[in-house]
Amino acid sequence: MEDILKQLPQRAKDTHNENKKFFVKLKKKPPRQLDELMVELHEEEFRRTDCLTCANCCKTTGPLFTNKDIERIAKHFRMKPQQFIETYLRLDEENDYVLQTVPCAFLGADNYCSIYDVHPKACREFPHTDRKKFQQISNLTLKNVAICPAAFNIVEEMKKRLP
């Protein structure tokens, strides 16, 4: 996995323009079966991919925290939401709550999440490759292929299956 993660940024960079063109085309005329295909590709990939051997998303990026996430996680820690915010979060340039630092404070040395039972919605849904109306998140996907080997593989397979 270490080698894959070392190569991923360059591989993502090498395919960026091709992927961008592909997503522009996809957005203009999404195939009828796109949602079903994305679920299939996502499930196939995650039968092969064990996130615990990677955790690159947790090591290099931070999720957005919704108000519901903050309330749920604060309750888990028996904290007031404001105390949780002050301890772990900051507002980004788009006024969203994000982690103060990466890697994620809740990531263990074994790549397990210490708050997995209550982790943020953005973490549960990452890398968003099985999302409905997938064509609407092409900019996010272009970023995620540089972070997540599974997302990279899903996009590569998608390009093969969609003419």
User: pLDDT truncated to tens, each residue of the chain (163 aa)?
Assistant: 899 999 999 999 999 999 999 999 999 999 999 999 999 999 999 999 999 999 999 999 999 999 999 999 999 999 999 999 999 999 999 999 999 999 999 999 999 999 999 999 999 999 999 999 999 999 999 999 999 999 999 999 999 999 7
Q: How many CB atoms lie within 10 A of CB 13?
A: 11
CA distance 91 to 65: 10
Q: Which residue has 């051997």 as its token pair?
A: 53
Q: Is the pTM of this model over 0.85?
A: yes
Q: List the structure tokens of 125.
A: 């849904």
> Are the beta carbons of 87 and 65 closer than 8 angstroms?
no
> Are the beta carbons of 109 and 103 closer than 8 angstroms?
no
> Are the beta carbons of 57 and 143 closer than 8 angstroms?
no
Which among 70, 76, 106 is positioned nearest to 90, based on CA atoms? Answer: 70
